[in-house]
Structure 1
C-alpha cells in the first residue's frame, strides 16, 4: 500500500483522537459521566494512542500490512495497554476487549471518511515523514523552551520543561496535524508552516478560553456582556508561540530536506 502524503497527517491524528474518545467513554461508563472523568479519560486515551497507536500504525504502513485485521490488532493492543496502565483489573478485561473492537470500528470509520476526501486524487505521491514529525517536535520544543525561560535556574525548570514538552507535542498532534493538512492542501508558500503555527496557536487559545467566553456571552439584565480579562492579550501570546513553533518547524523541514538531498 502506498500511503498518500495528503492522508498521512489526518490518519495520524485519528489515532490519538479515536483512542481518547474510546477511553473517555469507557471511563464515563465505569466511573461516572462528569467533566473531570471525561477529560481525564480522553487525555489518558490520547497519550496511549500517541505512545502505542501511532508507532503501530507507522509500522503497519512501513511493512505494507495496513488492513482491517492489522488495525483490529493495533486497537486491541492499545486498549489492553490502557487496561494494564489503569491497574489490570480482571473485572474490566472484557470491557477492555470490547472497547478495543469499538476503537477499531471508530478508527476504520474515520479512515474511511479520510479516504473519501481524496477519491480521484494523485496516489503516486509517497509519504515524506520528516515534515509530519517536525510539527509535534517544534511544538514540544517551543512550549518546553518557554517553560525553561520562565523558570530559569530553579529546581522546577527541568520538570517544567519535560511536562510542557509533552503537552506541546500532544497539542501539536491533536491540533497541528489537521492544520498541517489544510496548509499543505491550500498553501504552497515557504512560509506556510509559520501560517499553520499561527492558526494552531489561535485554535488552542480558543479551546482554552471557550469556557470563559461562553460564560461571558451568557448575559442577563443583571449581568451585561463583558469580555474576559486579558482575552485579546492571551490570544496574542498563543499566536506568538505558534509563530515561533512554525518558524522552528520550517527550519527543521529545511534541515531534513537538505540532508535527504545530500544523501541522494
Structure 2
C-alpha cells in the first residue's frame, strides 16, 4: 500500500488534501494553458496514468520522454515547497500546511508511472510529513529543514530526467514555464481575496528565480536572448511578489507580466 493510501485510510491524508481543494481550483487558471503548450492536446484532462494532463497542468505521458515537461513537473512541486516554507516563516501556518501537501494530489499521483519508469523513488511521504509537522506546531526553522530535504530529493529526481543532463534550452524552457505560471496566477490573485492564489504565484516566481540563478553561466553563454527575456520578466515579477505574505493591495498590472512571460518563452533557442 502506498504512503498516500495509508494516510487516506487513516483519514489524515484525505483531510490534508481536502483542505487544498480550493487552491487547486485556483491553480488551474494558471496551469492548464501551460499544459497545452507542454504537449497536452485539446480536450485532455487529468487522467493520470492514462497519459493526459494532470491537475498541475503537466502532460504526464510526455513527462516520461520530454525533459522539459518532466523537469517542469518537478519545478511545480518545488514551487509549492518553497512557498510552504516561506508561508510558515511568515506565520501563515494553515496555508503552509496545505501547500506542503498539495503537490501529492496535484502532481505526484499522476507522475507515479513516470517515476517508476525512470527509477525515481517515491517521495510523497516527505511532503505529507512536512504538512503534518506544520499542523502539529513545528517551528519555521524545523519546517525549513524539511523543505530543504525535499528540495534535495527533487534535485536527485531531476538527475533521472529523460535524455540525461538538461540542455540550456530545456533549462530556459523550465524557467519560462514557471514565469508563465507566476504571471497567470497573479491575474487570478487580483480577482480573489484568497491568500492561496498569491502564494502559489509567489512559489512559481521564486522557483523561476532560483533555477535561473543556479544556471546563469550556461544560460549567459548558450541562451543569451532567453536570459535577457527571463531577467526582464523576473524583474516585473519581483515587484508583483515582494514577499510570501500577500500585500494589502495587488497593484501590479497583470498584462505586462503575461506579455513578459510570453517573450521569455519565445526567446528560448531550441
TM-score (norm 1): 0.25
More helix, by proportion: 1
In our comparison, the structure showing a higher alpha carbon Rg is 1
Normalised TM-score (structure 2): 0.25
